[in-house]
Structure 1
Amino acid sequence: MNSRWQTVSEARQATLQRHSTNADENSEPIPNDLYIEIFLRLPVKSIATCRCVSKLWASLLGLPYFTELYFTRSSARPRILFACRKDSELCFFSTPQLLNPDQRSSLIAASYHMKIPFDCRYNIVSPIGGLVFIRYGHIFEGRKTPELLSVIWNPSTRQSLTLPRPNTRKRLCLQSYFGYDPTEKQYKVLSMSVEGDIYKEHQVLTLGTEKLSWRMIECCIPHSHGSKGICINGVLYYPARADIYSGIGMIVCFHVRSEKFSFIKILKPFIRILRPTTTLINYNGKLGSLVWEGSNYHKRKGFEIWVLGDPGKNEWSKHFYGLPLLWQNILAKDMLMFAGVTGTNEVVLSSRYPSDSPSQPFYVFYCNLKCKTIRRVEIQGMKPIIGYHNYIFLDYVEDVKLIQAF
């Protein structure tokens, strides 16, 4: 690690010296280190503007030293990312993610990032850091039917990278997941074709390679497709079944670095973990699951949190969070979905289909597991696209690294 940073530092110094020699001899230039300190304090939208000011600024803003330091500082200030669908567009917004359970903020303004067109069904995989993986249909000029695209987006820079189509027959459906290996700092996409309701032709694509290409890998246990997954500490988890008719449930573990599969069998006492409404979460670095208590939405009195202890022993612990009586009726009015759990152990919920009435506020709810309290935070600035289908993701990080550098 030290040698890596030494290499980055040497490259940085060479760039700084090269531009310093071109400065006007009669002027006293601003030290480049001071430039970087100033840039680190700028909002992400200003960084894009600064890249266009001069070659010097573009060079400084492209240094690995700067982009990694900016990302590290942004990671200490995670945000909530909203993907909002309306008509034929998908719009992205973000807000600060409240980190202090004692913070009494009741109003937060959303920042607009970008919008993209889409023409048919799509799915959004949970963001990792500052990148979002999206599969959606796009109708190209001169065509009548949409073509399904797999695209990596960076909402902070509004850059995208369209991935090549996996090596499979076009008539087959595809299911894809997004993972990250923190050891090698590599992003990978896992894609599988769906044939007869069973995953086939498992393939992996690694971002950052000179030529993007898919590689076939082996999976030892056949399984049917499940719902959304989550990547925690280099392991991609997603729920599945042996087949669509089987009651045998499992959580598939794809180890991003080794590209190997393992499986966690869900035994009968824990079968609630695989409900369609279940949300997999990162609970203090461990795999967890959020499940509403009861089947009647309007009579729910709380929710359960299941946390996986030792994966090898299949040990799960259950925690129940009872909603305060005052909030039971309030939360029952909306079809709330789980966004996840913050680093301070607050469960975040939001409406998937918010009201499109201009007089109806849009809220995000923070449920404090320790204090048994709930904070309702109004989100402003998203009203033009409220009323359709929303997705909400925690721990989004603003990243100024150009997407070609991943």
Structure 2
Amino acid sequence: MKGKYRFCFCSSPSKLDPNPVYLKMVRLPAKFKMKKSHQKKLLCRVESEVCFGDHNEKDTNPSEIDSLPLDLKMAILTRLPAKSLTNLKHVSKMWSSIIRSRGFIDYFFSVSSTRSRFIVALSNGLFNKPEEKLIFLFSFSHEGDNSSLLANFVIAIPSVSFSSSSGSCESVHGFLSVTAEFRQVICNPSTEEVIKLPVNTRFVGYDPIDDQHKALLVQSINHSDHLEHKVLTLGGGGQGWRHIEGTTAPYSPISVGVCIDGFVYYGAYSPNRPINPVMVCFEVRSEKISFIKAPEDVVHWGNEAIFIEYKGKLASIVRFPFGRFHSFDLWILEDVEKHEWSKQTCVFPSSVWDDVGDIKMSFPGTNKAGEIIMAPKLLSLDVRPFYIFYYNVETTNVRRIRLLGIGDDEEFRRSSGFVDKGECHVRIAPQHVESIAHFKDPII
């Protein structure tokens, strides 16, 4: 594994607002064009200052970098890792003003979206002492057709853990929404910021129009069928939690949610099981809630129900969740307005279980190619390779990918508390895009 462990403790979020810097991309005048070798030299110079604090008066001429056009500076910066950019903000006011600007944050996210990664979250035991509980986050590349990938340690979130009945990890426009011990933890791995939200905070969504992340809290009113809904905007300028007025008929939420293109979807019955299975649709921008009729199959397994984005649409993976299975049903919401769903049965080879044993299988989502990801929900008790699988719906082919440095690393297991400390639960967030955006003054 690359890197040493860095423990990310919850602290007050950054109060730095983006500085207004005009970042229109223009064609470089001829006098500013330079050879690739010189661009590489400048990049290495910047990286050296960021990573090692090197500054040699004879070798470094600040005016040379300062005089570069803004878009060339941006091109240099976008080639740096997100965490290096965080450090670079402290090197000079010039770099700081660019990196903190809204324009550069959006530009960096756009560039990062072409090289998305997936995050693997491991928890070191629900029955550990509170001060010993940790969720470790690792990053892997989706790129290429490699049969093995090397883990890159990111951060560790303290004092929380997954369990067999709860826990999820979802990437929501640069942030991670981690559900652990029935509460939401919002994390940006790139800036190492973490916010723990109140109990009963169920879902996190992103509004691409107003560029806002919002958390949705859902709780029963006096133990009745009626639910109270509250919304928190991360970066809401001090608004704090606010009630959603005029919500719909009573319903019982029964599953985790998924955010797709500005909408958060989660399974429910209205009002109670087994009457009227539905998908609840929370529009992040308008903060309105509506219902979509759903097949009984997609919500039947309650908290074990699986919802993912599949080729831009809401989809559900239906399988027997408590043992081995050799096929699953892929339900796709084809028409939101007409509430029309399609169904396809997908079969995969029984040999997949040779690498998994009797461990439950999860379906965290898809890669960029549209292949469905299948992964064990636990690390095996013995030291052995850890595999995930890519399933192609059109061809029914299955690819096996080994994640190095997790299941097969005895020293990592021992130092992380995975030995004689109970089960190690695994959750995966596919297609995570790095972001250098900060939480801005959410009042929790």
Q: What is the rounded CA distance, in whole Å, between the counterparts of 1:35 and 1:301 in structure 2?
A: 52
Paired residue for 2:336, among 305, 311, 320? 311
Displacement, 1:350? 0.9
CA distance in structure 1 between the aligned counterparts of 2:341 and 2:250, rounded to whole angstroms: 24
2:440 alignment partner, SS class: helix
Tell me how far apart the structure 1 counterparts of residues 305 and 185 of structure 2 sit (CA, whole Å): 26
Q: 1:274 offset after TM fit, Å?
A: 0.9
Distance 2:176 2:429 in 1: 10
| Contact 1:341–1:347, Cα closer than 8 Å, also in 2 | yes
- Partner Cα distance (1:258, 1:37) in 2: 36
Q: Distance in 1 between matches of 2:253 and 2:321?
A: 23
Aligned counterpart, 2:392: 368
TM-score (norm 1): 0.80
- 2:213 touches 2:233 (CA, 8 Å); kept in 1? yes
Instruction: Give the secondary structure class of the aligned counterpart of 2:106.
Output: helix
* Cα shift readout 1:212-256 (whole Å, capped 9, x = no counterpart): 411111311111121111111111100011244433211101111
- Counterparts of 2:430 and 2:305, CA distance in 1: 16
Aligned-partner SS, 1:56: helix
1:201 aligns with 2:228: yes
Q: Secondary structure of the equivalent of 2:254?
A: coil
Match among 9, 22, 33 for residue 22 of structure 2:
9
Partner of 2:436: 400
Larger proportion of strand: 1
d(CA) in 1 for partners of 2:207 and 2:187?
18
Q: Give 1:193 shift.
A: 1.3
Identity %: 30
Contact 1:131/1:153 (<8 A) preserved? yes
Secondary structure at 2:236's aligned position in 1? coil
What is the root-mean-square deviation in Å for CA atoms of aligned residues? Answer: 3.0
Partners of 1:351 and 1:175 in 2: CA distance: 26
1:271 counterpart = 2:293 = no
- 1:78 corresponds to which of 94, 116, 122: 116
Task: Give the count of matched residue pairs.
Answer: 362
Report the equivalent of 1:36: 74
Structure 2 counterpart of 1:309, which letter?
E
* TM-score of the pair, normalised by structure 2: 0.73
Deviation by residue 1:310-331 (Cα, 9 ceiling, x = unmatched): 1232211111211135446555
Secondary structure of the residue that 1:156 maps to in structure 2? coil
> Cα gap change, 1:234/1:119 in structure 2, threshold over 3 Å: closer, same or farther?
closer
Residues 1:362 and 1:149: Cα distance change in structure 2 (over 3 Å) = closer
The structure 2 residue matched to 1:105, chosen from 108, 122, 146, is 146
Tell me what 2:171 maps to.
127
Does the aligned pair in 2 maintain the 1:129–1:395 contact within 8 Å? no
What's the counterpart of residue 65 of structure 1? 103
Greater alpha carbon shift after TM alignment, 46-55 vs 75-84: 46-55
Please tell me whether the aligned partners of residues 340 and 347 of structure 1 are also in contact (alpha carbons under 8 angstroms): yes
Gaps of 5+ in 1: 1-6, 14-25, 138-147, 166-172
CA distance in 2, matches of 1:27, 1:322: 61
What is the DSSP-based 3-state SS (H/G/I as helix, E as strand, rest coil) of the residue aligned with 2:200?
strand
Q: Aligned ranges for residues 156-195 of structure 1 at < 5 Å?
A: 156-161=190-195, 174-195=200-221
- Distance in 1 (alpha carbons) for counterparts of 2:353 and 2:425: 24
Describe the shift of the 1:295–1:160 C-alpha distance in structure 2 as closer, same or farther (beyond 3 A): closer
Does structure 1 residue 381 correspond to structure 2 residue 405? yes
Compared CA separation, residues 120 and 77, structure 1 to 2 (3 A): closer
- Residues 118-157 of structure 1 aligned to structure 2 (within 5 Å): 118=159, 123-124=167-168, 126-134=170-178, 151-157=185-191
